[in-house]
Amino acid sequence: MPELPEVETVKNELTPHIVGRKIIGVTLFWDGIVKQPSVTNFRSHLIGQKITGLDRRGKYLIIGLTSDDLLVIHLKMSGSLLISHDSSEPPKYTRAIIHLEKSSNIFFRDPRKFGAMWLVKDSSSITDKLGPEPLEADFTPQVLAQRLRNRKAPIKALLCDQSVIAGIGNMYADEALYAARIHPLRLGGSLSQDEIERLHHAIQQILRAAIGNKGASIVNYLRPGGEPGTAHFEFKVAHGRGKTCPIHGNAIQRITIRNRGTYFCPKCQPEP
């Protein structure tokens, strides 16, 4: 699933290609991708507007428009936004095309059809339940401690809960817990101050490194130019079926936590 590093990469790499461009058409191959407003109003309100900027909140991409409308996109499980500068055919599984002036197109490719788009005046109607951004300066170890205080859920589940922290999903939660040497079944409220500081550092280090490597292309994610990200080559445990711990050489184990496949090293991350 595209997580914070993948969406940040999409934002960074789309920006120079689409900001200042006018939307001249919208093609929908699957109407279900539009969540708000109606398909007819979505298309008519988008056409003729210029793109003024891109932002990200958690796993949401937010595209500013000249009317002060906001096009909010969630890539969900398998989505990618691909940029084209010619009249080439859309790739397989393209669910929507945003046509830009000067023969450019944004292809929303989504094999599993979970992706979504909203056209709104205020993105908080979609994002207001999200927790803090983990790479912002105001996300401190103290803030993390407050978010975890008295929580009885496993720390892995809490890291994936977007209302606790925005943008972290399955694979980066596994990587951060491994780096912090914390078992994924530890209850959130049981972490010591030292463990919280280690986890805070690990979260930021793992996410920044993944952004530097342009995200992780495990299954479907591609960068806007069609290239894969390379962050997954640095993974120590995530998606680690059949792999061994790079420190101790023992087998990476997989368990299920809240319906999520979870990978960890039983020696580096002892059971609670």
Instruction: State the CATH number of the domain containing residue 121.
Output: 3.20.190.10
Yes or no: say if 94 and 104 are a contact pair by the CB < 8 Å rule: no
Residues 174 and 110 in one domain: no
pTM summary value: 0.95
Measured CA to CA, the distance from residue 198 to residue 128 in angstroms comes to 28
Residues 10 and 121 in one domain: yes
SS3 254: strand
Residue 187 maps to which CATH number? 1.10.8.50
Give a yes or no: residue 59 inside a domain: yes
Give the pLDDT of residue 219.
84
pLDDT in tens, 58-115: 999 999 999 999 999 999 999 999 999 887 889 999 999 999 998 999 999 999 999 9
What is the spatial distance between Cα 245 and Cα 200, in angstroms, rounded to a whole number?
22
| Tens digit of each residue's pLDDT (9 = 90 or more) over 9-21 | 999 999 999 999 9
First to last CA, the chain: 28
The string of pLDDT tens digits covering residues 109-133 is: 999 999 999 999 999 999 999 999 9
Could you tell me the residue range of the domain that residue 229 belongs to? Answer: 141-264
| Residue at which a domain ends, from 127, 152, 185 | 127
Are residues 258 and 177 both part of a single domain? yes
Just list the catalytic residues.
2-3, 59, 260
Task: Identify which of 108, 102, 97, 98 has the alpha carbon closest to the alpha carbon of residue 85.
Answer: 102
